[in-house]
Chains A and B, each alone.
Chain A
Amino acid sequence: MDVELRILRFNPETDEASHWESYRIAAEPTDPVLNLLHHVKWYVDGTLTFRRSCAHGVCGSDAMLINGRNRLACEYLVQDAGSRISVEPIRGVPVVKDLLVDMEPFWDKYRSVMPFLVNDEIPEDGRERRQSPEERERFDDTTKCILCAACTTGCPVFWTNRDYVGPAAIVNAHRFIFDSRDTASEERLEIMADADGVWRCRTVFNCVEACPKGINITRAILEVTREIEHRHVG
């Protein structure tokens, strides 16, 4: 099928502002949008810049604003996108060039929640920290995060308040707060109870709609707020 692909382009060396460029491409309905971007880069304009790695929805590097909603370019198929497709960089983070954004502000938020297991105690049997299936189930949903930033950069609160820690960081805090093996949940809840933590969420659900892994992000955020209230943190 014939597809009109519109890309919001920006070259910091020549452009003062971003502008749209259109390309006509013959594509299969089962092609992911990433294939169209590859076609432009490899056969039309080699200067087109974007980030992608595995191209199979695992690494999370190609989150883009496609047809007005954050998605992974490698997962979103032409048959779902239609014959007119617009592609923009994700919002709320600085654009470096074309679809390539500076992810450092996103990583800063991610690092702020200590996204790693904290436990200096020696396990009971001296070898491993055991966990029941029920204890593991408690945070199963939030282990699926691939850090693509589709949720955080699709959140209207994040667009207007860059200090907001954002859905992705809260999801990754949730993953360890409810892990029975972790010993730093109080510390993480203190971070989450900050003015720019979980309380900024307005249950808009853009994050849930954008998540390519189907994580119920708003539920995770609300579970963290409930935990803050239960433990009287902050």
Chain B
Amino acid sequence: MTLLAGLQTRILRYRISWAQLAWAGHRLSGIGVLAFLFAHIVETSTVALGPGAYNFTQGFYRNLPARLGEILLMAAVVYHSLNGLRVIVMDFWPRTTVHYRSLTYGVVAATIICMVPIGLIMITPYAPWGGR
């Protein structure tokens, strides 16, 4: 056993495969996006209390940690969407399950490829080259 496999066996009692990780990631990203949606509803509803209250809640987003959280949120949305498409493809065409490993790697790779430019655009206002 490799060290990683040994740790997984001892802590989780079952060795995690990429497909299992993809499933856990799908659940976690879904819960994360849903949690943000609820927070977003609460935060935007402060508009009913007047401009002062609304501007106050919007101020929570105008800092680096919040922007990093937004990038994470974006990554969750992208991953959840792409992995959802993978599941839909397998649901409609069961033959494609033969390639489940490649499809899983593809989703992870596509998420990373999408998030590089998105992340750069989102972090630019807070980066040294962003001029802030």
Q: Measuring CB to CB, which residues of chain A are less than 8 angstroms from any residue of chain B? A: 65, 67-69, 81-82, 84-86, 88, 91, 154, 156, 202-206, 208-209, 216, 218-219, 222-223, 225-226
List of A residues within 8 angstroms of B8 by Cβ: 68
Whether A65 lies near B14 (C-beta < 8 A) is: yes
Report Cα–Cα, A209/B95, bound state, in Å.
17
Nearest chain B CB to A230's CB is how many angstroms away?
12
List of B residues within 8 angstroms of A82 by Cβ: 1
Report Cα–Cα, A201/B45, bound state, in Å.
38
Q: Does B54 contact A (CB under 8 A)?
A: no
Q: Does B128 contact A (CB under 8 A)?
A: no
Report Cα–Cα, A142/B64, bound state, in Å.
54
Report Cα–Cα, A217/B53, bound state, in Å.
55
List of A residues within 8 angstroms of B6 by Cβ: 84
Report Cα–Cα, A52/B67, bound state, in Å.
57
Contact digits for B7-28, partner A, Cβ 8 Å, 1 yes 0 no: 0110011110101100100000
Report Cα–Cα, A211/B73, bound state, in Å.
36
Nearest chain B CB to A126's CB is how many angstroms away?
37
Contact for B5 among A67, A156, A203, A216, CB less than 8 A: A67
Whether A68 lies near B15 (C-beta < 8 A) is: yes
In the assembled complex, 29 residue pairs joining A and B whose CB atoms fall closer than 8 Å, in A order, are: A65-B14, A67-B1, A68-B5, A68-B8, A68-B9, A68-B13, A68-B14, A69-B14, A86-B1, A86-B9, A91-B14, A203-B97, A204-B19, A205-B17, A205-B19, A205-B97, A205-B100, A206-B14, A206-B19, A208-B97, A216-B97, A218-B90, A218-B100, A219-B94, A219-B95, A219-B97, A222-B90, A222-B97, A226-B94
- SS class, residues of chain A in contact with chain B: mixed
Closest to B27 in A: A202
Contact for A88 among B13, B17, B20, B23, CB less than 8 A: B13
Whether B97 lies near A218 (C-beta < 8 A) is: yes
List of B residues within 8 angstroms of A67 by Cβ: 1, 5, 9, 15
Closest to B98 in A: A216
5 A-B pairs closest in CB distance: A68-B15, A68-B9, A222-B94, A205-B19, A219-B97
Query: Among B12, B23, B95, which residue has the most Cβ atoms of chain A within 10 A?
Result: B23
Whether A206 lies near B20 (C-beta < 8 A) is: yes
List of B residues within 8 angstroms of A84 by Cβ: 1, 6
List of B residues within 8 angstroms of A85 by Cβ: 1
Contact digits for B45-89, partner A, Cβ 8 Å, 1 yes 0 no: 000000000000000000000000000000000000000000100
Contact for A204 among B9, B23, B91, CB less than 8 A: B23
Nearest chain B CB to A79's CB is how many angstroms away?
13
Closest to A217 in B: B97
Nearest chain B CB to A41's CB is how many angstroms away?
23
Whether B9 lies near A223 (C-beta < 8 A) is: no
Whether B100 lies near A208 (C-beta < 8 A) is: yes
List of B residues within 8 angstroms of A202 by Cβ: 23
Report Cα–Cα, A156/B12, bound state, in Å.
12
Report Cα–Cα, A67/B3, bound state, in Å.
12
Report Cα–Cα, A226/B88, bound state, in Å.
12
Report Cα–Cα, A216/B15, bound state, in Å.
19
Using A68-B9, A86-B9, A208-B97 as known contacts, list a sample of 20 further A-B pairs with CB atoms less than 8 Å apart, ordered by residue number in A. Answer: A65-B13, A67-B5, A67-B9, A67-B15, A68-B13, A68-B14, A69-B14, A85-B1, A156-B20, A203-B97, A203-B100, A204-B19, A205-B20, A206-B20, A208-B100, A209-B17, A216-B98, A218-B94, A222-B91, A222-B94
